[in-house]
Amino acid sequence: MTTLTPIVRALMISWAALWVLGFLLEAVLKVQAMVWLGFSPSLLFGGELLSLVGLVSYPFLHQPSIPPWHLLFNCLLFFYLAPEVERMNPGRRFVKLLAIAALAGAAAMSLLHLLSGKFPGPVYGGSGLVTCVFAYMAAIYPGLRVSLLVISVRLLPLFLVLTSFDLLRLIADLAGAPGSVSSEVHLAGAVVGWTAAGGWQRFPLIAGLRQRRAQRRDEQKQQNAARDEQELDRILAKISREGIGSLSPAERKFLEQRSKR
């Protein structure tokens, strides 16, 4: 049975408590309390300094104006995956990981807003934190089995499938078919978690690509060095036959560059 760790427990309690508070304020008392608490790139770049509050608060809030399925799904995944990540990164290290994931989500949304004019915000919710721990666990325990109703799937394939959906959703957003899911925040959180766990090195496909690129660079350097040696031999032979005054400007420049190595 999963045992909640201190920071995971505190974060899940804050998610639930703030959703209930927001629901009471907005749905019952009709007080618009969420305006400045979500992160809005359009407000930030419009000079609204109060929008900086949302940069800190948005991962703790889920919109009370919609049914709580978003909150429940985040809590379910966080409950199963985050405690192990916190045990591997206790205390401040776990807080730092989640903070970087949240800031990365805001940065990704801001960059896309600047480049495309879309993604004005606001964005709410801890989905970027969830995808961060999801990616971390998928990188560390790729073969871990997760039960989904009547089927059991491995964690890494499940992570790749869900991340692919987010990527397709982002492409659709950029193409002018905006949805209600902040896929850019999900993807940014996933990149942070995957990187923190060393996923680029652990995942064979990525590691193989990196190794092949390194091999190609080494081969190119060796080929360039061999060509340089051949050119040097040719120029020295020319000097021996015709004297240094016979060198062209390009040949002189080549010798000068070689002498500086």
| Residue 60 to residue 229: CA distance in whole angstroms | 62
Q: What is the mean pLDDT of residues 10-15?
A: 93
16 compared with 216, residue with greater pLDDT: 16
* 47: alpha, beta or left? (left if phi > 0; alpha if psi -120 to 50): left
Nearest residue to 202 (alpha-carbon basis) of 133, 157, 140: 140
Alpha-carbon span 133 to 113, nearest angstrom: 26
* Span 218-226, average pLDDT: 81
Q: What is the DSSP letter of 31?
A: -
Query: What tokens appear for 104 in the block?
Result: 């990365």
**Cβ within 8 Å of residue 36, ≥6 positions away:** 50, 51, 53, 54
Q: For residues 18 and 163, give the distance between their C-alpha atoms in angstroms, rounded to a whole number.
A: 28
Cα dihedral 51, 53, 57, 59 sign: positive
d(CA 196, CA 105): 15
Q: What is the mean pLDDT of the chain?
A: 84
Highest mean pLDDT: which range of 92-96, 139-143, 207-211, 255-259: 92-96
Residue 133: what residue type?
A: V
Closest CA to 196 of 124, 108, 110, 134: 134
String of b and e for 84-96 (b: at least 16 CB within 10 Å)?
bbbeebeeeebee
Would you say the C-alpha torsion 138, 141, 142, 143 has a positive or negative sign? negative
Q: Determine whether domain 6-202 maps to CATH 1.10.260.40.
A: no
Q: Tokens for 175?
A: 């193409």
pLDDT at 128: 93
Question: CA-CA distance, 99 to 87, in Å (whole number)?
Answer: 17
CA–CA separation, 153 vs 219, rounded Å?
41
261, pLDDT greater than 80: no
Task: Give me the mean pLDDT over the 243-251 stretch.
Answer: 81
Does 223 or 94 have the greater pLDDT score?
94
pLDDT at 220: 82
Q: Specify the pLDDT at position 153.
A: 86
Query: Which residue, among 260, 102, 65, has the nearest Cα to 191 in the 3D structure?
Result: 102
pLDDT single digits (tens) 39-82: 888 888 887 877 788 888 889 988 877 778 888 888 988 999 99
Residues 65, 22: Cα–Cα separation, whole Å? 8
Give the pLDDT confidence of 169-215 residue by residue, as tens digits.
888 888 877 666 788 999 999 999 999 998 887 766 555 556 667 77
* Residue 190: predicted pLDDT: 95
Residue ranges of the domains in the chain? 6-202, 206-259
Instruction: Work out the pLDDT band at 97, boundaries 50, 70, 90.
Output: very high
pLDDT at res. 1:
47
Distances (CA, A) of 222 to 102, 181, 186, 260: 44, 49, 42, 19
Q: What is the pLDDT of residue 191?
A: 94
